[in-house]
Structure 1
Amino acid sequence: MELPADPPERLETVLAAVDALKAQDVAVEKYYPEYAAGKHEIVTDHEPGVRAADHHVLLRETVESVARDRGYRATFLPKPFDHSTNGCHVHLSLWDTAIAGRRPNENAFHDPDCDGLSDTARRFVAGVLDHAPALVALAAPTVNSYARLRPQIGAAAFVCWGRGNREALVRIPAPEPGDGGASTRLEFRAADNTANPYLALLGLLAAGKDGIERDLEPPEPVSADPGNLPAGERADRGIERLPRTLGQALDALEADSVLRAALGTDLFETYLEVKRSHWEAFTDSAVSWERDRLRTVY
């Protein structure tokens, strides 16, 4: 999120937003100023299922309201200015008490005998990568989103995964020491705050479930910035570029039968129709529409 650059007043505004979130039972795990002027990150605690999406909506509405009440404006636009971007990194783990041989409330993504990452987690990652071009139409659903999804600006641009790799689409963060694997998770880095969190999470779960059901295997993890790899090496390793525009992402979504089934035909087709109109309106008037229109919404 972007807030004004006056440090004392900016900090007071952020702390007021944190207090307002806590008053609504939205647990704030950490806050810290980001790399660009006026940019801040608030990390909320993990929550099960729909509650996580509920808290995301509360966060956006609360931050915007607190800033407005103090005479400021907060924006969650993915690329509001030339000097910075806003993302919404989704951290996800899978807890399934029905998995044979597992104790209740055990993280299905963790396996201490496989370098910490279970076969279930690997297949889930493979499913997310397989559906990645379509997924970004749900997780990065505005024309401005694709100004952010470019190489080497701290946001995902290539379809790959890696342990601790902040330029990979799917990152596996280092687990917290001594927690028995409870913090083993994946981070999907292409999402931004223009997304409907309910649809973005539904898409991620559907893609991961498909990977598990089809026993997909992910490619080798990428430890380097994929943007620094030679084009030939990326091709050899199957590291493809994410869609460069909303139009390309919508084409991928329209062709994805798994996400169509997850959303249901009516919602799927309505979503495509609305986002196609968004894309067509942008292509008719280009950059001035993108920033002027979206800044009034996000």
Structure 2
Amino acid sequence: MTAFVRKLRICTPSDEGTVKADAPESSADKYSGLTIDLVGLGKVQLTHVLKSNTETRIYHTTQPRVVVKMFDLSCGKPDEISYGPYMSFSLELANFEDILGAEDLRPLVPAYYGANINYDKKYAFIAMEYLEGQDLKSWCAEASSGGYETEWVEEFKEAVYEALTIMTRFHRHGIILIDFKPDNIIRLRERGIKFVDLGAFFTPRHYGQTDKYVYSATPDYAELLIDASNVQAGVPPTEASDIFSAGVALFELATDASRLEIEDGTADEILKNPAIFLFRDSQIRIS
């Protein structure tokens, strides 16, 4: 994994969590206008938000083929950075590097353009390829209003088959996707499928220290509790986890609803009781 050398130490636990929830898109915020330096591309400026959640924001940039995923490391204390987003950044970067190290997996994820962390300004970023296309969830939602024409159904079957084939290729390398869902499967405009949001991938490097793996997922799905409980107990997930998730994904695409969805009130109650999912979090003090 790329090393970002800086002395850090774990400090007092906080109320922050590694659970992430979708947030509304906005045209501008604290990182819009920020300029970063990418090897081989030079200076690139962040323009507006493409997608966001409570921990990260993905930005369009002045380079049309490049998007940048920003991790907000601030925690309200001048000499500390937030442990949850820092670990999410570290994990996603490590997963990117593991996947890019496998030649046959490289074409199945966005191209990687670099990453860095700024301890003084408390942010980290990963720059990657902007994929021209649409995630399967929104693609299916659009088709539902048109009545699922025969041509579209054939394209849908082709997309699902390709996505499951790609999943199998990851499994051959000992990589479990964990957060397999239609939102993370991009159907490219020129046809073909790529997977995005690599932060939850469980790669061979994690098998020896499963209990230290940081699980990051949307809190409104019940499989979060299933997988998180296993991970916290030191039980590595297997291919069965992805097969189960694939079944849930197909159900969701067919019905526009998930049988595992938790009502908002219930999800809020779960998040108020950390003992249920045992997430560990803190800040990391900069020294």
TM-score, normalised to structure 1, is 0.27
TM-score, normalised to structure 2, is 0.28
Query: Which one has the bigger strand percentage?
Result: 2
Query: Which one has the bigger helix percentage?
Result: 1
Q: Relative contact order: is structure 1 or structure 2 higher (C-alpha 8 Å, sep ≥ 6)?
A: 2
